Amino acid sequence: MVTIEHWIGGEFTAGSGNRRGPVFNPATGRQQHDVVLATDADVDAAVTAARIAFETWGQASLSKRTKTLFNFRELVNARVKELAGIISDEHGKVLSDAAGEVQRGLEVIEFACGIPQLLKGDYSDQASTGVDVFSFREPLGVCAGITPFNFPAMVPMWMHPVAIACGNTFVLKPSERDPSASNYVAELWKEAGLPDGVFNVLHGDKAAVDGLLQHPDVAAVSFVGSTPIARYIHDEASKRGKRVQALGGAKNHAIILPDADLEFAAGHLTAAAFGSAGERCMAISAAVAVGGAGDALLDLVNRKAGEVVVGNGRDPSSEMGPVVTAAAKQRIEGLIDSGERAGAKVTVDGRGLRVPGFEEGFFVGPTVIDQVEPSMEVYTEEIFGPVLSVVRTDTVDAAIDLINRNPYGNGTAIFTSSGEAARRFQRGVRVGMIGINVPIPVPMAYYSFGGWKDSLFGDKHIHGPEGVSFYTRGKVVTSRWPHVSHAYDASLHFPTSS
Ligand code: NAD
């Protein structure tokens, strides 16, 4: 069993405490490693390393930063397979899905390679006689990232490539459930030529997070995780004057209209509900069948859900792996039970699934529940597992209303062949990311990612142009170079242009 250590100032360290957390292989159900859990002294060591590194990295030229970003891009691109294996062993997702998450992270690195273009300021020549005005953006200093278990490579990559390209230094506090991918990425940054201390990995739990929130040298906090913690992070960081973006949980609905290609819709719904065992913040967890679409759709989804191959993530024939922990399995199965008790109909049942050779693994099979009502716990809770609830409405407006009454607003989709219905949906729905015949509308890296309502606290979405804006602050310079000093009379009235 290996002890997974912090990465501070360009090297591994066990830190100062002796608390450890278990890291499981979800497919076997066995603990494979333990991970150090940071003390206040470890938090301070990581932030101090980042603060000292900022003195030089914050002054590094755009060309030096770009070169390092390009090197990093090449290294991540060359090691997708290795990184995918590390992710699969601790998270449980299948290798192809893990490689897909690294690919989406790579796209953010590629976006950040264009930082000279992204950081260009504005210039107004002769704003007043002999006076020019121009703007530019500067880095903030030490930025912290606190990330969830479900995308151990991609979600941190939404943050650190952009923060570092902007000239900041970074302390990443990844999920303690699958911490190894972050250490691997740290070594790639070093190999790419990033100076020690610019990127640090601090492992831990609530104590590490609270230490970062309270540290006076942390200028900004990016968080991705569940809604209660996102709200807490937002409040605690704001209270201390830190810049914060905190992305929370989700309950993503897909509307299926009777005019949709139902075979196409059912295939995409199945993939979006059960891919990564439903442990995606953009997974579809509620299918809203409108009018006559319901019964035919349910038949198709039931058949496709039953065909999903569930197994060890390392097995290339597996399409879906286990969920992350025994507690997650218990919670998900408990919510399915509660739906059944409340009168919903379980049409495909993944409870109690045992995978041959992996009997102790944390597996839950694809589950479809029909006749779900908005008052049921199985609907109101974010299940974060391979469970698709089917809800029925009579009209597209009632379906839009259902989505708008939900407290979450991360992603949503519509399946239809009507441009008019799609347009009504895209304009009427109060959600941040919208798919039209696209079930998981994760924006490309050059757009920004973020939900509305309880899915995001703070006013900036993550990566893309809003990411650059989040990790920098603006300066506007008004300048005059008088060659004949008496030609410009000083006056006590408020400056106006002439
Ligand atoms: P989580 O909220 O339990 O943990 C996220 C991070 O917060 C981890 O690093 C964890 O160590 C830390 N943390 C946990 N409890 C804490 C506490 N009491 N105080 C301070 N820090 C704490 O989330 P998770 O289970 O790792 O991830 C799943 C959740 O993340 C789901 O709700 C999912 O929807 C959400 N998520 C959202 C997005 C998005 O973009 N909106 C993306 C991915 C995941």
Q: Tell me: the pLDDT tens digits for 377-422?
A: 999 999 999 999 999 999 999 999 999 999 999 999 999 999 999 9
Residue nearest ligand 1's atom 20 by CA: 206
Q: If you average pLDDT over residues 216-242, what whole number do you get?
A: 98
- In sequence order, the 6+-apart residues with CB closer than 8 A to the CB of 367 are 305, 336, 346, 348, 349, 350, 351, 385, 386, 387, 388
String of b and e for 41-75 (b: at least 16 CB within 10 Å)?
ebbbbbbbbbbebbeebbebeeeebbebbebbbeb
Q: How far is the CA of 264 from the centre of ligand 1 (A)?
A: 32
For residue 49, the model assigns a pLDDT of: 99
- Name the more confident of 488 and 437: 437
Question: What is the position in ligand 1's atom list of the atom closest to the CA of 175?
Answer: 9
Residue nearest ligand 1's atom 19 by CA: 206
Burial, 436: exposed, middle or buried (Cβ in 10 Å; 0-12, 13-18, 19+)?
middle
What residues are labeled active site?
A: 281
**Does 491 score more than 90 pLDDT?**
no
pLDDT digits (tens, 9 = 90+) for 463-480: 999 999 999 999 999 999
User: CA 432 → CA 398, 457, 460, distances in Å?
Assistant: 19, 12, 12
CATH architecture assigned to 2-248+455-477: 3-Layer(aba) Sandwich (3.40)
For residue 250, the model assigns a pLDDT of: 98
List residues bridging with 456 in a β-sheet. 247
For residue 495, the model assigns a pLDDT of: 80
CB 15 within 8 A of CB 36: yes
- In sequence order, the 6+-apart residues with CB closer than 8 A to the CB of 29 are 326, 358, 360, 361, 362
Q: If you average pLDDT over residues 234-253, what whole number do you get?
A: 98
Question: What is the position in ligand 1's atom list of the atom closest to the CA of 384?
Answer: 31
Q: For the chain, what percent of residues have pLDDT higher than 70? A: 99
How many other CB atoms sit within 10 Å of the CB of residue 319?
18
Q: How far is the CA of 149 from the centre of ligand 1 (A)?
A: 7
For residue 420, the model assigns a pLDDT of: 97
Residue nearest ligand 1's atom 18 by CA: 206
Q: What is the DSSP letter of 347?
A: E
CATH class in words for 252-436:
alpha beta
**Does 366 score more than 80 pLDDT?**
yes
Report the pocket of ligand 1 as residue ranges, CB < 6 Å. Answer: 146-151, 155, 173, 175-176, 205-206, 209, 224-226, 229, 247-250, 281, 382, 384, 410, 451, 455
- Name the more confident of 227 and 486: 227
Q: How far is the CA of 209 from the centre of ligand 1 (A)?
A: 11
According to DSSP, the β-strands at 123-128 and 6-8 are unpaired
**Does 485 score more than 80 pLDDT?**
no
Question: What is the position in ligand 1's atom list of the atom closest to the CA of 174?
Answer: 9
Q: How far is the CA of 206 from the centre of ligand 1 (A)?
A: 11
Place 487 in a pLDDT band, splitting at 50, 70 and 90. low
For residue 497, the model assigns a pLDDT of: 75
| One fold for 2-248+455-477 and 252-436 | no
Place 434 in a pLDDT band, splitting at 50, 70 and 90. very high
**Does 488 score more than 70 pLDDT?**
no
pLDDT digits (tens, 9 = 90+) for 318-332: 999 999 999 999 999
Place 303 in a pLDDT band, splitting at 50, 70 and 90. very high
Place 494 in a pLDDT band, splitting at 50, 70 and 90. confident
> DSSP letter string over 420-471?
HHHHHHHHH---SEEEES-SS-PPPTTS-B--EETTEESS--BSHHHHHHHT
Residue 33, both tokens: 């490693």
User: CA 154 → CA 8, 117, 186, 235, 471, distances in Å?
Assistant: 21, 23, 14, 25, 18
**Does 486 score more than 70 pLDDT?**
no
For residue 405, the model assigns a pLDDT of: 98
Instruction: Round the average pLDDT of the chain to a whole number and report it.
Output: 97
Annotate 348-362 with three-state secondary structure. ECCCCCCECCECCCC
Q: How far is the CA of 451 from the centre of ligand 1 (A)?
A: 15
For residue 103, the model assigns a pLDDT of: 98
Residue boundaries of the structural domains of the chain? 2-248+455-477, 252-436
**Does 490 score more than 90 pLDDT?**
no
Q: 3-class DSSP state for residue 111? A: helix
**Does 484 score more than 80 pLDDT?**
no
pLDDT digits (tens, 9 = 90+) for 89-128: 999 999 999 999 999 999 999 999 999 999 999 999 999 9
List residues bridging with 136 in a β-sheet. 475
Q: State which of 151, 202, 226, 449 you would mutate to test the pocket of ligand 1, scoring each by most atoms of that ligand within 8 A of its C-beta.
A: 226
Residue 426, both tokens: 């895209």
For residue 483, the model assigns a pLDDT of: 78
**Does 163 score more than 80 pLDDT?**
yes
For residue 275, the model assigns a pLDDT of: 98
For residue 326, the model assigns a pLDDT of: 98
